[in-house]
Amino acid sequence: MHKKINSRNPEINVWLFNQNANSPDLPGGTRHFDFAKELKKKNINLIIFTSNFHSFERKKVRELQKRYRMETIHSIQFVWIQSSRYRTNGIRRVINMFVYAWTNYLVASHIRLEKPDLVIGSSPHLLTALSAYLVSRAYKVKYILEVRDIWPQTLIDLGHNKFHPFIVFLKIIEIFLYKKATKIIMLMPRGIKYLKEEGIDTRKFTWISNGVDFYWLKNRKNPIYSLNRDFFNITYAGTLGEANDIETIVEAAKLVGDRFPKIRINLVGNGVKRKWAEQQIKFNKIKNLIISDPVAKNQIFSILSSSDTLLFTLKEAKVFKYGNPPNKIFDYLACKKPIIFSSNASNNLVKESGSGIFIKPSNPKKLAEAMVRAFKLSKKKQLALGKNGYFFVKKNYQIHQLAKKMHSAIISSV
């Protein structure tokens, strides 16, 4: 029976667990913070449990005196959970996952907060999603699984051995959570096909994409550094990780090279490929490729808006046939800039919106050609492409629109 919202029962308490959830003062997506602001208007109190170790910056972003720290940020409650450090995607990262998941369960099971009416566990980190399920059992409430990235299939498609014990372990957890969840929220528009292939009840499926909150665009702050406006700036902002095809960007930068000295490629972010990219720049004396530190959500729109073209790259992987909706593409569209889209993801938002150039992934020559094409666009064409993207994302992917779907998913699950 659904819990009704009325004067006697003014609020539904939802606990959401995502090891990589961000507050607006940190780099990266703020999906759950943005949803929490909208849901609060509808009497749903979303409390976000996250890690004090930031996977993007590879450092602790909150100091804790005990296992956790509670903090209210713009009226949204965060619970920062103690987590271990790591630098690369090796054994220390796996340890980090286990430590966070276990500490998360211990804290949530004994924390002095009003009992949740519903628990949401968000992947791709399946151990976090599992600890969220165990918390839901401890409080005897319903559980929703949110799939932001299909693990472990994405790892397998990017080259990891599907028979590795840890991958097999993750697969077991994945199927277990699919079966136990009341609802399965997926960010991939064609995720229902994946569930069907795995033998999961597709009636559980709800598609809730990432999107953009125009508040951050309207209230953007000046970043700690700015782009050199003497150049034609092509900017990639986001994770410099295994899946993001950073190798192709480096090779394309070499090809553009001295032929077009006015083109400058900016990588704004961090990740396991950053050190490698910096070594390539130094060794090959690549002058037109600049790597800068990530900036907070309330600053990134200033950098995007001062760029001439925005760049999205993703390695080819079979799992992307279900769709891939990273935060950055929606922020790009909102900034009224042409976009170069290099991916085999089935949801090609640049093609749908008519906002730029799209090419196949992992092809340095094609990417270099796309950069030159963007550079040669007339100002009129640049403005037209940018406006196409802006009006497309404004019509279809604003956070307040998507939050209605999240509200429905919550109400129908309580």
pLDDT tens digits, 243-300: 899 999 999 999 998 899 999 999 999 888 999 999 999 999 999 999 999 888 888 9
CATH fit for domain 215-396, picks 3.40.50.2000, 3.10.350.10, 3.30.1370.140, 3.10.310.30: 3.40.50.2000
**What is the Cα Rg of the chain in Å?**
21
pTM metric for this prediction: 0.90
Q: Judge if the upstream peptide bond of residue 364 is cis by omega within 30 degrees of 0.
A: no
| Element of type H or E holding 77 | strand 76-81
What's the start-to-end Cα distance of the chain, in Å?
A: 8
Query: Domain spans of the chain?
Result: 12-211+398-411, 215-396
**What is the CB-side half-sphere exposure of residue 177 using CA atoms within 13 A?**
32
User: How far apart, in whole angstroms, are the C-alpha atoms of residue 240 and residue 60?
Assistant: 19
Residue 1: predicted pLDDT: 32
- Mean predicted lDDT score pLDDT of the chain: 90
Class of domain 12-211+398-411: alpha beta
pLDDT tens digits, 137-185: 999 999 999 999 898 988 888 888 888 998 999 999 999 999 999 999 9
User: How far apart, in whole angstroms, are the C-alpha atoms of residue 96 and residue 90?
Assistant: 10
pLDDT at 2 over 60: no
Report whether 381 contacts 309 (CB < 8 A): no
325: confidence class by pLDDT, cuts 50, 70, 90: confident
22: confidence class by pLDDT, cuts 50, 70, 90: confident
**Do 12-211+398-411 and 215-396 agree at the fold level?**
yes
User: How far apart, in whole angstroms, are the C-alpha atoms of residue 378 and residue 338?
Assistant: 11
